[in-house]
Structure 1
Amino acid sequence: MSPADFRRYALFYLGYYGALGAYTPYIGRWVSANGHGGYVVGAMLALWYGGRIVAPPTWARLSARSEFPGRWLVAGCVLAMLGFAGFAGFDSGIMLFVTMAWFGVCFNAVMPQFEAMTLSTLGDRNHDYGRIRMWGSIGFLIVAGSYGWLLDRLGNDAFVWLTLPWLLLTVAAAWLHRGDRPHPVALPATTAREGLWRRPGTRHLLVTVLLMQLGFGPFYVFYTLHLQAQGHDGFAVGSLWAIGVLCEIVMFWVAPRLVQRYGAHRLMTVCIATTVLRWSIVAMFGSSFAWMALAQTGHALGFAAFHAGCMRRMAELFPQRRDMAAAQGMLYGFSGGIGGVAGAGVAAVAWQLGGGKAAFLAGAVVSIGALLAHALPMRAARAASAAS
């Protein structure tokens, strides 16, 4: 990849995840500031995760038929920006949900397409992917770490206008790819998902990632609101988000060595157990910045290392490349899709019943379920092997 291509691809990740760094931590704060309760906040995030189920496969089929898939990328980014701009005029009523659905579908559609474009361009140099993807984490870090402070000073109404420039940057970066053509690679054979589902170990992995994502529901939906309710100002909230992202970046660099040394199953066990402890700390000691900072360091294991372990397990379960695309789609649908929607729903109910403490304790309980789903099948398999 030439330096010019590197800049083109890195710029898109910077803009896309910069916009996500505004949306993920602060959409709940904006919705709540407009007078809505926990159920509305949860429904908004459920629509967001629902877009991850329906949008990527549909968009992939449309762009795959095009001679210039880069034009579909531009179109998706423009539609996402226009959808988000709708929040400036619709902050209540049914149109709030319509706007959310529009933005969620379009914004979630383009990244899987761009990831495929990136990996296709890298070819045999796919190990350089991390150097490009890192710019996405930098964008998320800059925005998530600073927008809490900015919203305290400019007011919550500034949320939409502070986010739109990052979406405009995403459109501009996509425009640089408008003439990109499909790479001449052989298409993988179609693999029936039913066959993948029956493969030994697959269902246990999918249930584990679904429950893990469900347990993250309170974090993605109500973490900022929980911190505000516990007396933290915008600067403290942004700092805590930044701590989590910094730990995530560091872990992504060292995770391959950890997986190699300890194995995916053992590493994932530690990650899930750490997440149980993390949500318990957030629930019980939310008023303490020091305890919240300590809990945020758990993002390195609960998110980054867990993701690395999942990818290794996927490679072990589906060693043939022709199976991997369908398997990854199935994993994405279970975790980010079904798990995300269910997590938002559970978090909303718990928040309405008992606030942040109840929501994060619910996340800890669900994470215990993920730990059991992950650990017990392996223990049973070992016992059966010893008996034979």
Structure 2
Amino acid sequence: WSNQFESLWLLTCAMALFYSALIPMTDALAVRSIRNLNVPYTRLRVGGSIGYVIAVASTGFLIGHFGPSIVIPVMCSYLLLALLTTFFIKEQAYDVSPQKESASFVSLLRAKESILFFVLAFLSFMSHAPFNVFFAVHLESVGYTGQQIGLLIALGVIMEIVLFLFGGNLVRKFHLFHIMLLCFVCGAIRWFLVGWFAEILWVLVLTQMLHCITFALFHMVSIERVRRLFPERYASQGQAMYSAFAIGLGGGLGMVGAGYLWEWVGDAWVFTIAASISVLALVILWGSQHLR
């Protein structure tokens, strides 16, 4: 029933206060539940991508028939299903890691490798912020229809699902440095092309196919990196730091900055700045290897 910015902002903060803990806890539980199985984490994570597609498609259909007021009841229905699902979770005990178990969470967090990872994750999600907020607006401004925009967004999610299903073991076969390097190179290319060549359809198709690298592959690497940096005792806290600092703070500041820059310099330059952030992350990553 809220119709003012102030009350909506307070409600959003209240929801975020409780909702923000869910992602790190579920990721930690997912990693722990498959530790003795030959199943990559991404086989579980793909459920989120499939759920996203189902939710968007079904809610869009319902909005067309019942109007925007149907959104809140649908969200509550999905949250109720999630609540019921939690009663079927059987949490496993965590393994003790002798070399890290004696260390405190703060000391692990202050380690150079941890700081480097969180900075890179922060920059990665900051570079994605203009896409998350203004991609549809940008495409509409260059003449794409709502149906075309929806299909392009769906293509990115489909590529994400494909990688999660069939590329789960990539992080074990290649060095994490090389995978992150690929993610930031593709990010710089993707955002630059989206900014300046959005009117060319095949270019947009290519950039959406890169979504499986810039987002999905980086998320896979991040989950693996958190698992290596923090023992199971601190798995939830490590995932929480990743969610809060990278996804929350990085993505949040990126969205706010993109909103102001959109009015000041225009859409193409906003995506160019996003590409520059990927380049900055690339330089930091490359430099960290040469300083060792």
Structure 1, 117-126 or 351-360: larger mean CA deviation = 117-126
The one-letter amino acid of 2:185's match is A
The answer to whether the Cα contact below 8 Å between 1:271 and 1:305 also exists between their aligned partners in 2 is: yes
The one-letter amino acid of 2:275's match is A
User: Structure 1's 121 and 210: CA in aligned 2 closer, same or farther, altered over 3 A?
Assistant: closer
The one-letter amino acid of 2:114's match is T
- Secondary structure in 2 matching 1:301: helix
Which residue of structure 1 aligns with residue 246 of structure 2?
335
Q: How does 1:51-200 map to 2 (within 5 A)?
A: 89-116=1-28, 124-125=36-37, 127=39, 130-144=42-56, 158-162=67-71, 164-178=73-87, 183=91, 185=93, 192-200=104-112
1:344 to 251, 255, 258: 255
Structure 2: how far apart are the matches of 1:322 and 1:290? 47
Q: How large is the Cα RMSD of the aligned pairs?
A: 3.1
- How many aligned positions are there? 288
User: Structure 1's 147 and 279: CA in aligned 2 closer, same or farther, altered over 3 A?
Assistant: farther
Cα deviation, residue 302, structure 1: 0.4
Which residue of structure 1 aligns with residue 205 of structure 2?
293
Cα deviation, residue 126, structure 1: 7.8
TM-score w.r.t. structure 2 length? 0.83
The answer to whether the Cα contact below 8 Å between 2:41 and 2:168 also exists between their aligned partners in 1 is: no
The answer to whether the Cα contact below 8 Å between 2:187 and 2:278 also exists between their aligned partners in 1 is: yes
2:181 to 269, 272, 277: 269
Greater RCO structure (CA 8 Å; 6+ sep): 2
User: Structure 1's 253 and 284: CA in aligned 2 closer, same or farther, altered over 3 A?
Assistant: same
Structure 1: how far apart are the matches of 2:11 and 2:274? 28
**Structure 2 runs not aligned, ≥5 long:** none
**Structure 1 runs not aligned, ≥5 long:** 1-88, 382-388
User: Structure 1's 231 and 158: CA in aligned 2 closer, same or farther, altered over 3 A?
Assistant: farther
- Secondary structure in 1 matching 2:93: coil
Which residue of structure 2 aligns with residue 371 of structure 1?
282
- Secondary structure in 2 matching 1:251: helix
Which residue of structure 2 aligns with residue 42 of structure 1?
none
User: Structure 1's 135 and 316: CA in aligned 2 closer, same or farther, altered over 3 A?
Assistant: closer
Which residue of structure 2 aligns with residue 217 of structure 1?
129
Which residue of structure 1 aligns with residue 267 of structure 2?
356
Structure 1: how far apart are the matches of 2:227 and 2:2? 44
Structure 1: how far apart are the matches of 2:132 and 2:61? 19
1:129-185 per-position Cα deviation (integer Å, ceiling 9, x unaligned): 54444332112123446767887x67xx9345246324313313413545x687473
The answer to whether the Cα contact below 8 Å between 1:243 and 1:297 also exists between their aligned partners in 2 is: yes
- Secondary structure in 2 matching 1:232: coil
TM-score w.r.t. structure 1 length? 0.64
The answer to whether the Cα contact below 8 Å between 1:209 and 1:335 also exists between their aligned partners in 2 is: yes
User: Structure 1's 94 and 126: CA in aligned 2 closer, same or farther, altered over 3 A?
Assistant: farther
The answer to whether the Cα contact below 8 Å between 1:280 and 1:360 also exists between their aligned partners in 2 is: yes
Structure 2: how far apart are the matches of 1:348 and 1:262? 37
Which residue of structure 1 aligns with residue 224 of structure 2?
312
Structure 1: how far apart are the matches of 2:58 and 2:92? 42
Are residues 1:234 and 2:146 paired?
yes
Structure 2: how far apart are the matches of 1:111 and 1:132? 13
The one-letter amino acid of 2:278's match is S
The one-letter amino acid of 1:98's match is L
Structure 1, 101-110 or 277-286: larger mean CA deviation = 101-110
Identity of aligned residues (%): 25
Structure 1: how far apart are the matches of 2:3 and 2:149? 23
The one-letter amino acid of 2:264's match is L
Cα deviation, residue 267, structure 1: 1.2
Structure 1: how far apart are the matches of 2:46 and 2:222? 19
Which residue of structure 2 aligns with residue 260 of structure 1?
172
The answer to whether the Cα contact below 8 Å between 1:211 and 1:366 also exists between their aligned partners in 2 is: yes
Cα deviation, residue 322, structure 1: 3.4
The answer to whether the Cα contact below 8 Å between 2:28 and 2:239 also exists between their aligned partners in 1 is: no
The answer to whether the Cα contact below 8 Å between 2:124 and 2:278 also exists between their aligned partners in 1 is: yes
Structure 2: how far apart are the matches of 1:258 and 1:121? 20
